[in-house]
Amino acid sequence: MTAQLVSEVLSLPVAERLHLVEEIWDSLPADAEAPASLLLTAEQEAELNRRADAHAADPSSSIGWDAVQQRIQDRFGLRL
């Protein structure tokens, strides 16, 4: 990656950079071909399972995507 490309990406508006990050993330392999650095550690998997169990036990403790988007918009002035 060239310094010019990085500079161009960093000059994009925040919303466009976020979209680019999503596109790059979605392009990463999600199968057995993924390098070990992309796989969850045992601790990360345990934490995700703990959070999923907590949500299953009390679904009202979480907030919906619309509320998350609104919080981001309010805090950072971004339109998602």
pLDDT digits (tens, 9 = 90+) for 7-59: 999 999 988 999 999 998 888 766 656 677 777 889 999 999 999 999 999 99
Model confidence, pTM: 0.47
Q: Is 35 exposed, middle or buried (0-12, 13-18, 19+ CB in 10 A)?
A: exposed
Quickly count: other Cβ atoms within 10 Å of residue 60's Cβ.
Answer: 6
d(CA 49, CA 60): 18
Contact 72, 78 (CB under 8 A): yes
CA angle 52, 75, 48 (to 5 degrees): 15
pLDDT attached to residue 61: 86
Query: Does pLDDT of 1 surpass 90?
Result: no
pLDDT attached to residue 30: 63
